[in-house]
Every structure is written in C-alpha cells, then in structure tokens.
Amino acid sequence: MPQTAFRAAVPFIILLCGGAFVSDSYAGQAAERRTAPSTPAPAPPAARGANLGMDAQATRNDLIQILEKHPPAIARVLKLDPSLMRNESYLAPYPMLRDFLNEHPEIPQNAAYYLEEVRVFDGNWRPANQRLQLIEETITGLAAFTAFVIGLVTIGWLVRTVLDQRRWNRLSKIQAEVHSKLMDRFSSNDELITYVQTPSGKRFLESGPSPLPETPRATTIAAPFSRILWSAQLGIVLLVTGLGLLFVSGRTFEEARDFFFICGCLAMALGAGFTVSAGAAYLLSRKLGLFNPPAPDHA
C-alpha cells in the first residue's frame, strides 16, 4: 500500500519540479530583459534623409572653411579634376585638407555637390552674398540715375546758355542797326543832342539787350545772406542724413554695416563742415560790415 501511494505521487512530484524549473527560467529571462539596454527604434526614412542632408551640408561647410585657408587655386583645381582628391602626392603639402578628405571619402565621390560654391573662372571663387549683391545693384542703380540726372541738367544748362547767347546776339545786332539808321537821319549834331536830351531819346539810348546797371547795396547785402542760408540748410540736411545712415548701420545685416557706417560718418562730417562754414561766414560778414544798411544817397 505505501508503495502504491508512492508510485501515484511520483508524477505529481515530477510535475511540480518541472513547473518550478520553468518558472525560474521565465523569471531569469524577464530579469535579463529588464537589465538589457533598450535598442533604439529605427528612424523613419524621411528623418534619416534629413539627417544625411544636414550632415552633408555641415561637411560641405567644413570643407569650404578649410579651402578658405588655402590658396584659391587649389579649390578650382580640385573642382576641375576631382581625382586629385585621392592623389596623396598632390595633397601632401596640405595636410589639413588631406586628413579631412581621408575622413570623408564621400567627398571625392560627389565632388560636384561639395564644390558647388567654387567658381572656376573667377578669382573670387566664393559666391558673393545675395544681400550684398542686392546692395551693390541698388547703389549701382542710384549712381547711374544720379549720373543721368546730372548729365540731363548739364545738357539743359548748355542748351539754355546757347539759346540765351543767340538771343542776345540777335538783339544786339538789331539795336546796332536801329541806332545806326537813327544816327543817319540826323543832319547835325545839334539835332542829335536835342533828341538825346528828350525822355524818349534817353530811354532809347539806354535800352539794350544786356544793360549793366549799377549793383545796388541791397543786392550786395542779400548775397552773403543767401550763401549763408544755403550752407546752413545743406549742412542740416547732411547731418540728418548721416544720423539716418548710422541708425541703419546698427540695424542691418553684418555684411552691410561697415558701408552704411562709413557713409553716415562722411555725411555727418560734410554736414558739420557746411554748418561751421555758415557760422563762420555770418561772423565774418557781420564783422566786415556787409550787413549794414546802405547809406542814403544825398547826391
């Protein structure tokens, strides 16, 4: 009877031992999974492409910075013949460039992309900044427009001067002919003197295309005032323009700051010069008595 009970209990004992073993195995595997480092999930294809693009852009920027430290001819030669990027004898004098190319073997395989900014037929192989190009084009356009306006004004002044000269010559010729014909009509000097003494004769003889009256005192006084006012006005305009350019130089992009700063300083210097000259002219004119009212003529 005891043997029969033992035989009946054997399968249960084996089952309990196997369950304990299996549970220990599962517990060990769970512990290993908890202690093992987590494997990062693979990045989506779009993210991987963006990272590669950013890495390629960074590599190209680093390559350009290294090339800037070398003679410009090296960049142009490498763009014309990318096979030289694998030529150790050619790169031997340039260890920094050689080591960088060895660290990035993808550069010789896609040299057109990494050397895209290199211009072969230009001494300045780095492309100009677009904002600087915009400023240069704007300044060139303003200079051309200013030159056109100055040329147009000069041509207009020359045409007007020529027309005035022709008009003056024609009137002088007509007046000379009239005077000569009038002189021929007088038979004696007494008749001529009598006619000249008449009001109509005086007006006729004094009339002409270019009379030269005496300069009045009022005109002499007005001349310094007009020049002083002109200098003061121009000086104030230039000072305000210089301040505006200095204000712009502190708020524009870095490439154009020096240009606006220099223009502002020059404008302010010219404005200060005109203002000081206006003040000096006023003091000198007052000291020399140019502003005194004209004395009454008792003659």
Show me where the domains of the chain are located.
48-114, 131-209, 220-291
Residue 127 gets which letter from DSSP? P
Q: Work out the burial of residue 259: count CB atoms within 10 Å of its CB; fewer than 13 is exposed, 13-18 middle, 19 or more buried.
A: middle
Tens-digit pLDDT profile for residues 84-138: 888 889 889 999 999 999 999 999 888 888 888 777 665 555 555 666 677 778 7
> In the structure, what pLDDT confidence band is assigned to residue 223 with cuts at 50, 70 and 90?
low
Q: Write down the pLDDT at residue 218.
A: 47
Alpha helices, DSSP H only, in the chain?
2-35, 45-68, 72-80, 88-91, 95-103, 106-109, 111-114, 130-185, 189-197, 199-206, 217-249, 254-287
Retrieve residue 49's tokens.
């492409």
Backbone angles phi, psi at 139, to 5 degrees: -65, -40
Question: Are the CB atoms for 84 and 78 separated by under 8 Å?
Answer: yes
Question: Are the CB atoms for 78 and 117 separated by under 8 Å?
Answer: no
pLDDT at 45 over 90: no
pLDDT at 239 over 80: yes
Provide the 10 A C-beta neighbour count for residue 242: 20
Please name the residues in contact with 107: beta carbons below 8 A apart, sequence gap of 6 or more.
59, 63, 85, 101, 114
Residue 250 gets which letter from DSSP? T
